[in-house]
Homo-oligomer: A and B are copies of this chain.
Amino acid sequence: MANDIHDKIILAHGGGGQLSDDLIRNKILTRLTNKTLEKLGDSASLSLDSTDICFTTDSYVVKPLFFNGGDIGKLSVCGTANDLAMAGARPLFLSLALIIETGLEMKTLEKILDSIATEARENNIQVVTGDTKTVETGSADKIFINTAGIGIKIKTANLGMNRIKSGDKIIINGTIGDHGMTIISQRKGIEFESQLKTDCACLAPLSCKLLEEVEGVKFMRDPTRGGAAVALNDIAKGSGLNIEIDQQKIPVNRTVQAAADVLGFDVLNIANEGKFIAVVAPEDAQKALDICKAHPLGKDASIFGEVTDSDEAPIVEMKTEIGGRRIVQIPYGRQLPRIC
């Protein structure tokens, strides 16, 4: 056997033959093993605790593959788990589908798989089914990952835009813009790059706690692509109500703000990968904030806005630090391609 079969991915690793089998058994199964996955069946056979589930999917095409505080592997676990968490579910099972460009270093793949294994294990998530495809050099960019996820609905969760009312408070669990500015700064090689770190994290430990303990949590969304601006506008549009936010109360790391200023980005449009925006009934807002602040995922949490009545088309308005007001719009097209 030539060395390159072991050092780099070749087309045959995705061909369904012996080399595919070797890759799956020796590189993937060894890291992600559990009773369901080790059967290597066409499908994972699962016995759930409930018939009320959430189901979601995301593909990950982030560039570069490795960045300060995370990589495409960690992202592909957290991103999908967070979509389940935001829907009021506890993430339990993931599928893992790899599209690999031939020539990818086996060591790079192993590092990504290690990262997936660690993140899944730490969050009690099992990778139960998967797929591996290879494409010719030039037909993909190193590796793309898709994960789909299944979570069980939290019984006490009652989330819906239709529950949102004027007077509800808007909470965020920490600083915004960290993930997006880390990626873009690393790509551009700007000087404060090393001080930036993605916020990429599985939100379920905190979101599940909130949904179990605070009845007044009415809606949650993770402000990923498009940033807080898109999440807030979605909430305004979906509820038919205005949202007023206070710039002074939006947590932003100083380095993230500096990088955004230098590169001409609005932090409200920058992607986050470990943040949620929650809409909470006013009487429960302080309790929710306290729970967040007591948790490692929410120590910088802040009540930064409020839902208000809308006479016309609903808008998101921001009281700026210098006392003005401006409408927060959703970006028309791309801000940052391949951010996740």
Contacts and interface: CB of A to CB of B under 8 A. Distances in A.
A75 to B, nearest CB: 12
A86 interface: yes
A84 interface: yes
Contact of A133 (B11, B18, B61, B138): B61
A176 interface: no
Contact of A44 (B54, B58, B59): B54
Interface residues of A, number: 78
A311 interface: no
Interface in A79-98: 82-84, 86-87, 89, 93, 95-98
Interface stretch (A65-73, A145-153, A185-193, A280-288): A145-153
Nearest to A337: B11
A3 interface: no
A337 B136 contact: yes
Given A48-B48, A55-B150, 11 more contacts: A12-B334, A18-B332, A43-B84, A43-B89, A47-B51, A55-B128, A61-B135, A139-B141, A140-B144, A146-B148, A148-B148
A6 B325 CA distance: 34
A52 B48 CA distance: 6
Number of this chain's copies in the assembly equals 2
B230 A16 contact: yes
A175 interface: no
Nearest to A131: B58
Nearest to A56: B43
Interface in A314-337: 330-337
Nearest to A152: B51
A133 B221 CA distance: 19
29 contacts: A10-B333, A11-B337, A12-B332, A12-B334, A17-B335, A21-B330, A43-B55, A43-B86, A43-B89, A44-B55, A44-B56, A45-B53, A46-B52, A46-B53, A46-B55, A47-B52, A55-B148, A56-B95, A57-B97, A57-B131, A57-B146, A59-B99, A59-B131, A59-B146, A61-B99, A61-B139, A97-B146, A135-B338, A136-B141
